[in-house]
């Protein structure tokens, strides 16, 4: 039982929940971080979104099981290694999605829509978009942008266009960095088997993208004006 719990926790990837703290971006920049009602609402929204993202990780590991077995690190994941049965993983994925969507609807209909769009994006990404050059990177970046908007919608705050530029630049930098790391870790034959788009990306191209998006992220955040996020 203890081993099963550990494998479920590993598949849920709690370290990735840190990404969901971006839902609090609008609250932090509004200057009302310590306003208790808003803080508690965002904290609850982060928990709900973490349930959803963990469910998506279960789903992705099921879909990518054959590819993960070729990866030097991902092959040790519970589903890829066979330590966590696929039917059980599918049950937790389905249950987590239903619970998170139900809870998000209780907070706000529009937050429910954000969660639903995020889930649909992840499904389409896992089945199709991750095999298309550029669109795979844009999909990863879009998942971060949805988190930012989700937090703003929960609090009924307005996000400025400039802040959207900041978030988009940073999200694209992180997405391209993920592809660059995969290209560095995997040899050519394994890279092509693990992810088709890596056959179209070259180290020089990804380095150029990283330089471009890091510069745009630095400039946008350095020049970030005061945000107008009214209640």
The pLDDT of residue 151 is above 70: yes
Question: What proportions of the chain, in percent to the nearest 5, are helix, strand and coil?
Answer: 80, 0, 20
**DSSP classification of residue 17:** G
pLDDT at 117: 95
Q: By C-alpha distance, which of 132, 118, 138, 146 is closest to 57?
A: 118
The pLDDT of residue 229 is above 50: no
pLDDT digits (tens, 9 = 90+) for 10-63: 888 888 898 899 898 888 877 777 888 889 999 999 999 999 999 999 998 888
CB atoms within 10 A of CB 45: 27
pLDDT at 6: 86
Quick one: which H or E segment has residue 24? Answer: none
pTM summary value: 0.82
pLDDT digits (tens, 9 = 90+) for 58-97: 998 888 887 777 767 777 788 888 788 888 889 999 999 9
**Averaged pLDDT, 141-162:** 87
pLDDT digits (tens, 9 = 90+) for 153-169: 998 887 777 788 888 88
pLDDT digits (tens, 9 = 90+) for 207-218: 888 898 888 888
pLDDT at 227: 46
Asked if residue 49 lies in contact with residue 100, where contact means CB atoms within 8 angstroms, the answer is: yes
Work out whether the CA dihedral 92, 70, 136, 154 comes out positive or negative: positive
């Amino acid at each position: 039982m203890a081993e099963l719990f550990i494998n479920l926790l590993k598949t849920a990837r709690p370290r990735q929940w840190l990404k969901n703290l971006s839902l609090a971006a609008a609250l932090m920049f509004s200057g009302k971080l310590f306003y208790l009602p808003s803080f508690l609402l965002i904290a609850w929204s982060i928990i709900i979104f973490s349930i959803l993202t963990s469910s998506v990780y279960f789903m992705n590991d099921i879909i990518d099981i054959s590819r993960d077995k070729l990866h030097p690190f991902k092959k040790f994941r519970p589903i890829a290694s066979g330590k966590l049965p696929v039917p059980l993983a599918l049950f937790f994925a389905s249950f987590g999605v239903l619970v998170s969507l139900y809870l998000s609807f209780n907070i706000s209909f529009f937050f429910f829509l954000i969660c639903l769009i995020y889930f649909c994006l992840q499904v389409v990404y896992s089945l199709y978009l991750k095999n298309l050059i550029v669109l795979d990177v844009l999909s990863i970046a879009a998942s971060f942008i949805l988190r930012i908007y989700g937090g703003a919608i929960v609090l009924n705050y307005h996000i400025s266009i400039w802040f959207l530029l900041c978030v988009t630049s940073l999200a694209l930098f992180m997405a391209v960095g993920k592809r660059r790391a995969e290209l560095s870790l995997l040899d050519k034959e394994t890279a092509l088997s693990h992810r088709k788009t890596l056959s179209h990306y070259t180290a020089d191209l990804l380095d150029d993208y990283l330089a471009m998006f890091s510069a745009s992220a630095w400039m946008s955040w350095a020049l970030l004006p005061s945000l107008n996020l009214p209640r």
